């Protein structure tokens, strides 16, 4: 087991960790490879984050794998990414079963290629009875679109007199999002040295702790993930209260 584990408080493990996995293309360019090699290399970092989450007892790990904006990329890169997704899911299903991992997805799944959608649905079904780590893959995801669709759904319910306007509050709105089955992230990690959210879980991260790593995603290993958890545990989460109120 990694020695860094010794520095982690077992009673302060974040329940939900989200990751913006950024830097595959830059890693490939930096090392003289085509971009798809960077994406393939990044799969190892996914495995490391999943393994560390299982070992720590993290309940939910959400990975930002493909945004709606990513559809604007060259078709060759998109095809390579979709093929990589199918390959990853096919190879990992035995690991998911072995480690009691349950797979979920959020986003506009209907926009995915048919073979990707079928494989995703298959693995979700095959792991549905597992009760350990919930691995949530954000695919063809846009937080702005999620919020707009939620507003439309709620507006329709008001129009149909299913609910009253006064019924709408923070909790009700959260319950209508794609992430209604999960608590908001405690920690959001972004790699590659970029300091932005990139249209990811905008509503859900209102009080999430943010951790930015200078490492490109393919270089982000288990030790880096554990160091992010240690940094998270050093922070005081006040949720609008004072330090004195939290201590009391």
Going by C-alpha positions, the residue among 174, 189, 69 that lies closest to residue 197 is 189
Active-site residue, 31 included: no
Long-range contacts of 38-41 (CB under 8 A, 24+ apart): 38/218, 39/80, 39/81, 39/84, 40/84, 41/218
Active site residue: 3, 7, 11, 22, which one? 22
What is the sign of the dihedral through the CA atoms of 116, 118, 122 and 125?
positive
Rounded Cα distance between 18 and 60, Å, is: 8
Chain-centre distance for alpha carbon 40 = 18
Tokens describing residue 88: 């990853």
CB 63 within 8 A of CB 136: yes
Active-site residue, 79 included: no
Rounded Cα distance between 49 and 201, Å, is: 19
Active site residue: 3, 24, 70, 114, which one? 70
| Beta sheet of 102-106, edge-to-edge order | 102-106, 134-141, 60-67, 16-20, 187-190, 209-212
Q: Which residues are catalytic?
A: 22, 70
């Amino acid at each position: 087991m990694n020695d860094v584990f010794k520095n982690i408080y077992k009673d302060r493990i974040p329940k939900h960790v989200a990751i913006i996995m950024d830097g595959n293309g830059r890693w490939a360019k930096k090392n003289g490879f085509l971009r798809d090699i960077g994406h393939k290399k990044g799969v190892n970092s996914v495995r490391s984050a999943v393994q560390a989450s299982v070992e720590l007892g993290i309940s939910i790990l959400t990975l930002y794998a493909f945004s709606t904006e990513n559809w604007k990329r060259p078709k060759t890169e998109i095809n390579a990414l979709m093929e990589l997704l199918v390959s990853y899911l096919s190879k990992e299903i035995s690991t998911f079963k072995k480690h009691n991992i349950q797979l979920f997805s959020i986003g506009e799944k209907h926009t995915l290629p048919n073979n990707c959608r079928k494989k995703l649905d298959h693995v979700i079904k095959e792991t549905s009875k597992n009760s350990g780590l919930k691995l949530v893959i954000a695919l063809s995801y846009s937080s702005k679109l999620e919020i707009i669709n939620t507003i439309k759904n709620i507006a329709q319910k008001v129009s149909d007199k299913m609910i009253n306007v006064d019924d709408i509050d923070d909790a009700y709105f959260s319950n209508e999002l794609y992430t209604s089955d999960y608590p908001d992230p405690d920690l959001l990690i972004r790699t590659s040295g970029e300091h932005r959210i990139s249209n990811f879980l905008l509503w859900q991260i209102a009080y999430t702790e943010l951790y930015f790593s200078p490492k490109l995603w393919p270089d982000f290993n288990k030790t880096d993930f554990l160091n992010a958890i240690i940094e998270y545990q050093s922070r005081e989460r006040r949720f609008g209260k004072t330090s004195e109120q939290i201590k009391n």
